[in-house]
Amino acid sequence: MSASKLRQKKSAPAFESWGRYPRLPATLVPLYWMEEFPPADRPVASMLPVGMGRSYGDVCLLENGTLLHTTTLDRFIGFDPKTGLLRCEAGVTLAEILKFAVPLGWFLPVTPGTKFVTVGGAIANDIHGKNHHVAGTFGRHVPRFELVRSDGMRLECSPIQNSDWYAATIGGMGLTGLITWAEVQLRPIVSRKIVYHGTKFVGVDAFLELSQGAKNAEYSVAWIDCVAQGKNFARGIFMRGDHSPEPSILKPSRDPRLTLPVDLPSVLLNKYTVEAFNALYYRKQLGREKRALVDYEPFFYPLDSILHWNRLYGKDGLLQFQCVLPFEDGQQGILRILKAITSSGLASFLAVIKVFGDVPSPGMMSFPAPGITLALDFPVRRDVSFDLLERLAYITVEHHGKMYPAKDACMTALQFQSFYPQWREFAHYVDPAFSSSFWQRVSGVGAINLAAATSTAGLGNALV
């Protein structure tokens, strides 16, 4: 691929991430072969790799820049059926891995709440799942990958080879260069089924007690009602699951058949409709306890069955917020966040609470840390949404927690630099030609002039 192709900007349509806020103009250039990068002549400022765009804010956006679309790097390179070690290009999605690996008796080591993310994106955001307390983050299961810098340097990275680049790139938000291929260590399964156990609870203390009792479960997470008040305040359903040990036919999954074809009117998602939804969701489980054998698809990916479900929030989109608060006084912090939501009158449609374990993340900038994590989403209402997100961020700061860049569209530079004090060290690994709107917002570093910053040292000097 030539640099002139990378520079073509005849049109600059607006791109959006999954949250659909903000929408920013950029040029999208697909990469079909790993050798197409870097361009044959001089590099172009400024670029950012982007996969399925399932991040919620602007971590996968670059205003007026070039987005290197990696979903066309979607080839499997090698697989060892005895060990479950898979090597694939970075644009392969988790859904494609599942379709290939499940019939062979292998499963993802860590998966988020959607399978429509690429391997490169999973590494760049060091994603986590319902098994963080026992398995840690996705990056822990990536023994090796290739990183290509805009100056042509190719680095094979592992915990022992170019280990500093390995640590900077896992959770590095796609800023250290282009990941071309990666290895993923899959885990064996004998069935598609999950042994499910659901328990109703009321109160954050009850949730923590259930989490403590589920330490040996492979997966655990809870839905929490952010609207209910009074005796039902902080009620929810705690869900734990384990892969079934009983062998059964390992059929591949079918593609989703439902889609939300249009944006729904944003007024449909208000406090009253969310209250009604939450009441129904809480009552869908009749008794306090429920045990069942369920397929892995609805257990891990309940929203993936409807394509474009984000249109539920209307054309203005949604804001995600995810924080983790240390255990020390995290319970009080979570209670303050829940009370701030109920007093705002802005309801969260989907609220998830979980306990992170102490399995260390390999990434320098990884989000998970021991404590309580809460994920929320809110429709964009310009009169209240941003004020509420600011209050939630303030509570996070006061309780010594941190927020998740992959979910964020509002974090200030001061907050980011407080949450991630290692950001200055990380900045030395950022490719001079790479940037994102998120990075420019939280680091104060705009698009880099390549003539002035032709090395990481130059970039470092520009930062201090």
- What is the SS3 assignment for 304-340? CCEECHHHHHCCCCEEEEEEEECHHHHHHHHHHHHHH
Q: At what angle do helices 327-344 and 204-213 cross, to 10 degrees?
A: 140
**Class of residue 155 by CB neighbours under 10 A (exposed 0-12, middle 13-18, buried 19+):** middle
| 356 has pLDDT over 80 | yes
Q: What is the largest CA-CA distance in the chain?
A: 66
Nearest to 369, CA basis, from 358, 378, 380, 384: 358
Average pLDDT, the chain: 89
Three-state DSSP state, 7: helix
Please state the rounded mean pLDDT for residues 164-169: 98
Query: Within 10 Å of residue 26's Cβ, how many Cβ atoms?
Result: 23
Chain CA centroid to CA 4, Å: 33
pTM, 2 dp: 0.91
CA distance 355 to 461: 39
Q: pLDDT, tens digit, for every residue of 46-73?
A: 999 999 999 999 999 999 999 999 999 9
Q: How far apart are CA 61 and CA 24, in angstroms?
A: 7
* Cβ 269 vs Cβ 349: under 8 Å: yes
Same fold, 79-189 and 194-245+253-410: no
Instruction: Kindly state the helix (H) or strand (E) to which residue 419 belongs, with its residue range.
Output: helix 413-419
Question: Which amino acid is present at 102?
Answer: V
Written as six digits, the tokens of 78 are 């090698």
Nearest CA to 129 out of 19, 239, 212 is that of 239
Strands across the sheet containing 65-69: 14-16, 23-30, 65-69, 47-50
Domain boundaries, the chain: 79-189, 194-245+253-410
Average pLDDT over residues 394-401: 96
C-alpha torsion angle, residues 148, 150, 152, 157 (rounded to 10) = -20
pLDDT tens string 69-88: 999 999 999 999 999 999 99
CATH architecture, range 194-245+253-410:
3-Layer(aba) Sandwich (3.40)
Question: Tens digit of pLDDT for each residue in 179-231?
Answer: 999 999 999 999 999 999 999 999 999 999 999 999 999 999 999 998 888 89
Q: What is the mean pLDDT of residues 99-109?
A: 97
CATH number of 79-189: 3.30.465.10
By C-alpha distance, which of 185, 157, 159, 182 is closest to 85?
185
Pair 442, 178: CB distance under 8 Å: no
241: left (phi over 0), alpha (psi -120 to 50) or beta: beta
